[in-house]
Chains A and B, each alone.
Chain A
Amino acid sequence: MVLLVLAAIETAVRLGMLNAALVPPPTTVAQRTFEIVASGVFLAPLGTTLYLLFVAYFAASLLAVILGLLMGRFVAMYNLFEPLVELLRPLPKPALLPPLILFLGLGDVMKLVVVGLAVFFPVLINTVQGVRGIDPVLINTARTFGCGRFAILLKVILPASLPLILAGMRVSLALGMILVVIAEMLAGTGGLGYLILDMQRSFRAQIMYAWLVILAVLGYALNAIFLALERRVIHWSAARSD
């Protein structure tokens, strides 16, 4: 299917039905992509983007899981944070870019924060749901074996809610990708998002598409890696994504 569409575009461009300056022939894009990859030029921008994505992703996920465990376990914590969460959660995170730029400038901190915000909420919501959905029998079992509160949290509640936490983290990974690209477009200095916009502005469509291809492959690869890890971690669960 993909090949068919590519072949159609290729033919259309070669026949002059599409403007080659706007839509370069896929073979050329493939060639440009290969050049970028083979020369190793892609490493630096990829590194910038992945650094922003991963730091924000893992930090935000960790915070979300911790807060989610507390909110799911303690009603007081839930009541305390729930209004704030419900206020911030539905807000489209790109809308926060202008105020964040105002507060934090154009540097990495701003990008990390906005990506982190996007990552945070799906993980948080799923963690709370996961914790609240645990059968009390499971927790009571641990209690009757003399497990303390902390041990129960670590050995029962965390693993039991892991399937939902990971489902949230998978959604967040895609959201994080989106936000990191947008943030780089608005205030970037070398990441993938910045390059795509930069190439477009300098009318280098071929290279712009080449970066898009790299971005697509990156997204696909990250998702595939995530699924593989998830399968290993929660192989016992019927709720895993595959």
Chain B
Amino acid sequence: MSITMLRIMIDPGCPFRLKAHWTRPRLDTFSHRCYSAFFERPQADAMDPADNSAVQDGAQLQGSAYLRIQGVSKSYGTETDRMKLALYDISLDVAEGEFLAVVGPSGCGKSTFLQIVAGLIAPSAGRVTLDSQVVNAPPESMVYLFQQYTKSLFPWRTVIDNVAFAVEHKAGMSRDKAREHSRRYLDMVGLAESAVRYPWQLSGGMQQRVAIARALAAQPRVLLMDEPFSSVDALTRLGLHSLILDLWQKQRFTVLLVTHDVDEAVFLADRVAVLSVLPSTIVRSIPTRLPRPRDSIATRELPHFLELRHQLLEMLLGRTQIA
């Protein structure tokens, strides 16, 4: 059943108007799959029976990855409104300590996807598990780095207190202790000097470094990054890339980065997953297999880097058919 047909039936002026009566499609068409994604309960749709029983028992899932995204779909609007399917049946496994990049064109729902992973918004279908625990609220071991650093830093707090925000609510954490803890992370991003300044007194690159310090101060096991380098200038971005790789190599947390910048994805990640246009789904996942530590200049000149970049751009620009 096509969306147009549905809309005609919902149209009050239509003589054959059905009262919110939906005929269940018989064929396994794309629209049928959308239908399932909308209306069938996530568990029934997205998981195999073995997983299901394991969850009910509260036991460990067999052979599960650290961060699992299983059959996640997201639609907006209700049945009487115009429905919009933003994400469709996204499944992705991320290993512990892996640096995974998700690339996709603008407006493909990358942020929505990442916010679902973070537990900030609920999926319409499917589920996310972190270390076998279903994510339905932001887990403590997961931290989200927003693209809009200017909006995610608290303007009424000094730089050091912004970083301290990550830990000050934890048990047994006094104000001084939180600051001391935060100072170490400010040191790591090279901003110890700016501790008592306010975020709005710093440049964009410095503000994003504050945000990075704050994210890491929470000592996350998973760092979710939503195009965190897209609103700083090109040179600052290269500096931030090296910084984040350096910190990642030292602290070995798991990273899930969404970006529209293929170059950035290949340079940083162990694996690059490609997201299609709406309704977005993962169409390909490619391991980068580039040597580490990576160098801002040399790595980008490797033939394999260029090959990957070529391959990914072809996909994103729609020059190759994706099976």
Does residue A214 face the partner (Cβ distance < 8 Å to B)? Answer: no
Inter-chain contact B151/A138, CB cutoff 8 Å: yes
Given A145-B165, A146-B138, A237-B155, A140-B143 contact (CB < 8 Å)? no
Given A137-B146, A143-B138, A145-B143, A156 and B154 contact (CB-CB distance below 8 Å): yes
B156 touches A234 (CB 8 A): yes
The answer on a CB contact under 8 Å between B148 and A137 is yes
A-B contact count (CB 8 A): 52
Q: Known: A234-B156, A236-B198. Contact between A140 and B144, CB under 8 A?
A: yes
CA distance A155 to B175 in the complex (A): 14
CB distance from A159 to the nearest CB of B (A): 5
| B residues less than 8 Å from A234 (CB atoms) | 156
Which A residues lie within 8 Å of B137 (CB)? 143
Are B146's CB and A141's CB within 8 A? yes
Interface flag for B125 (CB, 8 Å): no
Residues from chain B with a CB closer than 8 A to the CB of A153 are none
Interface residues in A180-234 by Cβ distance below 8 A to B read 234
Which chain B residues lie closer than 8 Å to A156 at the CB level?
154
A contact face: mostly helix, strand, loop, or mixed: helix
Q: Say yes or no: B169 contacts A147, CB within 8 Å.
A: yes
A151 — which chain B residues lie within 8 A by C-beta?
A: 169
Chain B residues with a Cβ closer than 8 Å to the other chain, count? 22
Find chain A residues with CB under 8 A from B143 CB: 144-145
Would you call A135 an interface residue if the criterion is a C-beta within 8 Å of the partner chain's C-beta atoms? yes
A141 and B146 CA atoms in complex are apart in Å by 8
Q: Check B200 against A138 for contact (C-beta < 8 Å).
A: no
Tell me whether B140 is interfacial, beta carbon within 8 Å: yes
Which of B120, B156, B169 is the one whose CB lies under 8 Å from A144?
Answer: B120
B residues with CB within 8 A of A: 115, 118, 120, 137-138, 140, 142-144, 146, 148, 151-152, 154-156, 165-166, 169, 198, 200, 218
Residues of A participating in the B interface, judged by any CB pair closer than 8 Å: 135, 137-138, 140-147, 151, 155-156, 159-160, 162, 234, 236-237
